[in-house]
Chain A
Amino acid sequence: MKDNGRPTLSRERQVTLLETLDRLLNRGVVVAGDVTLSVADVELIYVGLRLLISSVETARQWGVRGAGE
């Protein structure tokens, strides 16, 4: 879904993406050694998690239908 080259995501897609972010960056098998995160990546993770929490906190606005249902 692209509009003027900028991706637009529905709130549900956004929540799904943020849930994915939370899992892909904080969970899963850790392969030690060759993985390095830049400072910018670490900041993004932080911003992403804040976004996730605020998305969930505004979830009330879209009532009982959660993402993935």
Chain B
Amino acid sequence: MRLAPRLFAWGFALSAVAVSAGGLLLDHIAAAKHVSGSGTVWLYPFLFGSVSVPAVVGALIATRRPRNSIGWILVLGALSLAPVLAASPYAWVTLRANPGSLPGGSWAALLSSLWPAFFAWPLAVAFVFPDGRLPSPRWRPYALFAVGSFALLLLVLVTAKRLEHPFSDVPNPFPVRLPDALALLRTFAWLAMFASLFAGTAAVRSRYRRSAGIKRLQMLWLAYAALLIPLGVVCFLLWGLLFGEPGEAVVAFLLGMQAAVALAVGIAVTRYRLYEIDRLINRTLVYAVVTAALGLVYGVVSVVAGVLVGRGSAWATALGAIFVALAFRPLRTRAQAVVDWRFARPRYEGLRRVRSFVDDVRDGRREPEEIGTVLAAALRDPSAELLFRLPASDTYANSAGHVVAEPPDREGALTPVEHRGQEIGLLRHRRDLLDRPDLLHSILDAASLAIEIARLRVEVRLQLVEVDESRARIVQAGYEERRRLERDLHDGAQQRLVTLGIVLRRLQRSLPHEAQVLRPALDSAVDEIGRAIADLRTIAAGVRPPRLDDGLAAALADLARSAPLPVDVEATEERLPPHVEAAAYFVVCEAVTNAVKHASPSRVRVEAMLADGGLRLLVADDGVGGANTARGTGLVGLADRVEAQGGTLVIQSPPGGGTRIEAEFPCES
């Protein structure tokens, strides 16, 4: 799809350059015959440059931005100018040096008289630079007038009675003549063309006034060159008036003007990074430098090796190739750095910043999460923000590790960051960075490893938070399950047993006198039911002590009462969040059970007091100590319970020194 415009652009450009070169060759041939008006060798670079500069600049622009007419105007301008320039030596050769050697000599003489073509394409550029459109619809009549004036002038020149100097003696081969009655048209055509030149200048001026920032600078470049057009015309006319013949200096000036306008366009475009041409030139420069350097390396190595092992030896070639292979990468990096430093300072400095950061990360001097701020500095966009992609949830997180569900695109532009073909993040940045894709992408590429590391760390951190939360939820669900089970025991089985007991009691009371012997049996049955109920109550209390409903202090007092050894409890009467109360209760319960089982203490001391907005638990015994968290699952379970509430647990158990378990729970209220 993009091949066609590229083919056309370079095809036209190369044709123009070829025609121009052919013209120079013909001029050289004519000069050999000492034909006057030819062989001014110092004009050759001007002649060649006036065609090749717009041709190449135009082709470059046209391939990058085929929809923008600027590139095509330059290419076609060069393509139209080249035959006009080449026609003159052709005519010299055909008509004067070797008469009849080539066909169409008089036609070439006619073509060479169409020199106003010099002004055609610069004028077109003046009207539509830099976006390829007129400044406003208001300019349409002026543009049409310019086109008309050039067409009229062309007509006047083609239908002239006599050809221009120096071929005024050659008969005009064009069959149609301008009638004498319309002689005034000739003057009018010239005046109209000059007027349109001034209109073009005015168009540049008007656009310059309305533009700002980089666009304004671009217009300034063109304005310099555009000023040359009328200036050149005025000089040309003055010279003609004073000396009769336009001298070679004037010709050189006119030719130089062509190249200057094309160069101005090229500079305006590359210097301000329009159409991504800077990237193209940058690459070209780097490869030119690398190729030259590699050639040098190859040559030196081959020669030196040739001297050592003998000229023409395969070893010399192989050695040269090896050196070239080895030198390629470092050379390329260095050449890129040099070219960047010289021609793309922001890119060079941005890359240096990112690379030194990556080194710092590797050496552990900086945290990879800082990559966001480093990118903002490297891109010189303080508003730039890096978002890490979380593939599991298809969301994004910022550097602080907060999930951003929807990447906001209110202001600025979003550029995806990729690493090994996977999207790893998004960069939100100023919109104008999109005009410098080379800067943006090379810096993102250099940073992609650091971004990936930071992303993985953020992801792991978020997953840990998720794990913590899910553990808390699981423990919470455990407490709720206990509560439900306790309810089921009390409201289910226990109720049924009570009901059964009542039935038996009523049966017992309604027994006829003669069946009184059954009374003791029924009594013992009801007693058994009573014991079953008491058992159930004990089990239910173990599952979840109903006294927890009365608060932690009440539940702990109950616990102390049912313990097989003296337990001193000091507990806050404050009500805490239910999950904290439950967790604290079971921690104390398990700690006391552990103490009774393993430490054979004489007393246990339990404290549950508020401290620093949290709950501080202490379970201390005077037993044998030496408890190991790794050995019994009981103590590990304690730690799990405490940590699930976001708390901390410290166990001190020196052998023979009793065991002291301290836990702290945060209590958000």
To the question of whether A and B form a pair in one complex, the answer is: no
